[in-house]
């Protein structure tokens, strides 16, 4: 038996707005912008994607699952993400080689150390 990772679903109060934010943040393409969902992928036929689905409740606690991204230049990427609406988040991580940010709806994600540091 084989399993393919198709997508990660993200609950959102405004799936369209949050999906568009992540599309800009990642430079991905829109593959579904239906009335109730918004999906992006790295390329139209490349998975996994991110699927944004509507919920009524606001996020209230730290995510149990989050995304980690490895940039070419951590500091430059953090500044770019902050400039488009991300916020810095303290989840008790202390001083680390990664930076914890949140998207406009408060979902945490990490920007890991720069590739050239590896």
DSSP assignment string, 22-82 = HHHHHT-EEEE--SS-EEEESBTTBS-EEEEEE-SSPP-S--SS-EEE--SSHHHHHHHHH
Q: Note whether 11 and 53 are within 8 A (CB).
A: yes
Domain that holds residue 43: 1-58
Residue 11's SS3 state is strand
- Out of 30, 58, 86, pick the residue that ends a domain: 58
Q: Note whether 15 and 36 are within 8 A (CB).
A: yes
The mean pLDDT value of the chain amounts to 93
Same domain (yes/no): 90, 101: yes
- Out of 58, 73, 98, pick the residue that ends a domain: 58
Same domain (yes/no): 74, 113: yes
Same domain (yes/no): 37, 84: no
pTM recorded for the entire structure: 0.90
Residues 66-103 pLDDT 10s? 999 999 999 999 999 999 999 999 888 888 889 999 99
Q: Report the CATH number at residue 5.
A: 3.30.720.120
The predicted structure's pLDDT at residue 60: 86
The predicted structure's pLDDT at residue 17: 95
Q: Report the CATH number at residue 97.
A: 3.10.180.10
Higher pLDDT, 93 or 31: 31
Give dist(CA 102, CA 91) in Å, integer. 11
């Amino acid at each position: 038996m084989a399993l393919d990772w198709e997508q990660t679903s993200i609950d959102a109060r405004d799936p369209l707005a949050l999906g568009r934010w992540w599309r800009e943040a990642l430079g991905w393409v829109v593959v579904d912008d239906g009335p109730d969902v918004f999906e992006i992928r790295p390329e139209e036929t490349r998975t996994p994607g991110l699927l944004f689905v509507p919920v009524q409740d606001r996020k209230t606690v730290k995510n149990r699952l989050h995304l980690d991204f490895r940039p070419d230049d951590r500091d430059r990427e953090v500044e770019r993400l902050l400039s488009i609406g991300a916020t810095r988040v303290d989840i008790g991580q202390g001083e680390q080689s990664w930076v914890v940010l949140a998207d406009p709806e408060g979902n945490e994600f990490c920007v890991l150390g720069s590739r050239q540091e590896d």
